[in-house]
Each structure stands twice: as C-alpha cells, then as structure tokens.
Amino acid sequence: MNASGRIAAGLVLCALVLGAGRIEACSVPVFRYALERWPPAPYELYVFHRGPLEGDARKVADWISTCAAGIDVVSNVESLLVDLDGKPDAAVLDLWGKQTQATLPWMVLKYPGFYQFPGQVWSGPLTAANAKALLDSPARREIGKRILSGHTAVWVLLEGGDRARDDAAAGLVGAELLKMKAALKVSELLPEDLMEGMEEDAPDVKVDFSLLRLSRKDPAERVLVEMLLGSEAGLRGSDEPIVFPVFGQGRALCSLVGKGISTENLNDIGQFLVGPCSCIVKDQNPGIDLLMSADWTALPEGRWVKPPELPPLTGIPDLAPKTTTPQRDSGPVGWRWLSWGQHGSLGRGVLAVGVLALVVVLVATVLIKRRRRSEET
C-alpha cells in the first residue's frame, strides 16, 4: 500500500472509531487529550553484565534507574539488569547472542514490549555518554519544549541526504503547516468533557504546528534516528525525506515518505489531530511512543481534561510475558500502564470498539480499492 493509502486507511479507521459514540469519544481534540492522558510506554533497556556491577558502571546503571523513576529526569524507560552468570532465560540469551563485538557491560535498547517490534533500536557499551544519548538529545528536548509550550504537533523532517529533495520537502511542509494553522479550528469543548470547576470557563485551544529538520548523520541524534527508522517496515531502506508528526507525550503518529509528503496527507493528519478524541482506547489509535526525557505533567495551563471513567479492572489476569532472570530496576508505576490490547476484553465498551474496528477495516479497504480503481481509470 502506498503512503496515501496507509494514511487514508489509518485515519478513516480512527475517525470512525473516535466518532462511534459518547462512551468512546469526547469533544477534546486528539492532540490535547494525548498530552494530558496518554503516558508513553516504557522502552526496555537491557544491561548485560557478569557478576555485580561496580564502579562507574554501577553509577551509570543507578542513574538510569533514577531517570526511570522520575527522580533526576523523567524518562519512559525500564532498566533490566541481566547477569549472564545468573542463568538468563532463553529469550534474553537469544537477544545477547545477536550482539556483535559486544564488551561487557553492554546495553541493548528495545521498543516497548506492547509494540512487539522485532530487533532492537540501539546497542552499545554501558557508559555515561551512551546513557545520556539514549535518554535525551537536543532534538527530543526541542520537541518536548514546543509541545509543552502549546504546539499541536511538531513535524519532524528526517532528511534523506539529497539537499534539493530535503529542501523541497521542507518547503512544502512548512507552507502547508502555515495554511493549516490558519484554517483548522478546534470544535467547541463540551462542559462534560472538562474537569470539575472548568465547565463554565472552557480553555481557549489553539492550533499551532511547527517543523523540525533532523539530519540522519547527526551523531547527537543517532538514537532518535534509529527509533524513527525502525517504527515502520521499509523505512530503513529509503533514502528519501520522511516526515513524522509528533504530538502528545512524544508520540509519532505515522510516517510520510517521499511523494507521500503531500498536501492531501498533511491535511488529513492535521484534521485528525485537532478532531475529537477517543478517551479510553489509546492502543487503538495509530502511532508509536518515542523515548524522551520530559516532565509532561508540567503543563503551563495545568490539566483540564476530565479523566475517562474506566470499567472495573479487578480480576483481570496478567498476560504479559514474564522472565525470572532480568532484574527490573525500580521505576514509576505510571510507566507500567495497563494495555487494553494485551489484556483481553475489559467490558462491553471495549468489546464494542473492537467489533466496530473490524467493520471499519472492511469499510476502509473498500474505500481504498475504489480509490485505486478511480486512479487507474
């Protein structure tokens, strides 16, 4: 499926699911609800070693743990210490066996387990410099700063390396963002969707987009570049410019590659971001969380979106895969959020959304096929 088809299918699915009813949707725009109520999933950082960690290695591992716990900086990462002398389980040993030229202690960064992406994001020695580069970078810091200052989304342009093509893509995106900023409007916020005390004084939600260019060759951004290129199949083999709209708490919505960076696709995404939000099914929305270090609770206007009323969670089995060997460094409870997709049916509301999603997929498929036929004729 081409870029336009992927965007159409994904956003048609989301638009119908989000608008399915008052139980699943609210008047708060997607970008704002995501910023307040969608905590990012934790990346898995495996630290391989033999015997107790000592000296600088222990200090670096401890620092990563404080970041995961939100003590030094707030990072959506979960550190798993793996003592290779302690009989790791088969899956962990398999991950270690895939490392080449590894010197202990050694770090391997993987996407959040929920996404079930094969492979890894990055690997390298356990050093202070590498640990800092994993959790933070100038570009990620700038993205967080802009979103927290009120930007609807930051459109990250990952340059392909051809100056002419990169400049053309940047020019098209920049011009279209200005048009969308002026044309797109947020729907009126309904009192029942706001926190108590704000019903009579609804906040003024503005639409604001910005562009951030990112070089694939920037050594300070090597982890972010790998994270983005691994977010969808086929991106690593492309030398074209790629655009990733990032919103909420550092969530990359999708990718637009080469000719897929079009006025139509940009507008479809912009309309989705400012459209009404699904309040309880984050995992059924498109996108992938990025590993960032940002205090997303530090909102200038504070929180004003009413939390969703979740069904009872008692009696739900823990279906997440477990390993006995890795020691999970203590992290904040908030990072270990309950995944609707992983834990089966959580009541009739979620079941209804799932059935609706299947119907929508069929509808989207028909629409795309019709579109292709019209393009061929």
Ranges of each domain in the chain: 3-39+139-291+345-376, 43-138
- For 295-322, write each residue's pLDDT tens digit: 998 887 788 888 776 545 443 333 333 3
DSSP SS3 for 374: helix
* Structure tokens that stand for 370 in this block: 């019709």
In the predicted model, is pLDDT for residue 30 greater than 80? yes
276-278 and 25-29 as β-strands: parallel, antiparallel, unpaired? antiparallel
pLDDT at 344: 28
Of residues 353 and 50, more confidently modeled: 50
3-state helix, strand, coil in the chain (%, to 5): 40, 15, 45
Given pLDDT bands bounded at 50, 70 and 90, which one contains residue 15? very low
Tokens, residue 288: 């992938």
Using 50, 70 and 90 to split pLDDT, how confident is the model at 346? Answer: very low
| Angstrom distance (rounded) from CA 187 to CA 164 | 38
| Beta strands per DSSP E along the chain | 25-29, 43-49, 77-83, 106-110, 122-125, 153-158, 209-214, 242-247, 251-252, 256-257, 276-278, 288-289, 327-328
pLDDT at 296: 92
- CA–CA separation, 27 vs 11, rounded Å? 17
Q: What global pTM score does this model have? A: 0.78
pLDDT confidence tier of residue 327, bands split at 50, 70 and 90: low
pLDDT per position as a tens digit, 67-96: 988 887 789 999 999 999 998 999 999 999
CATH of 43-138, one of 3.40.50.10680, 3.40.50.300, 3.40.50.2000, 3.40.30.10: 3.40.30.10
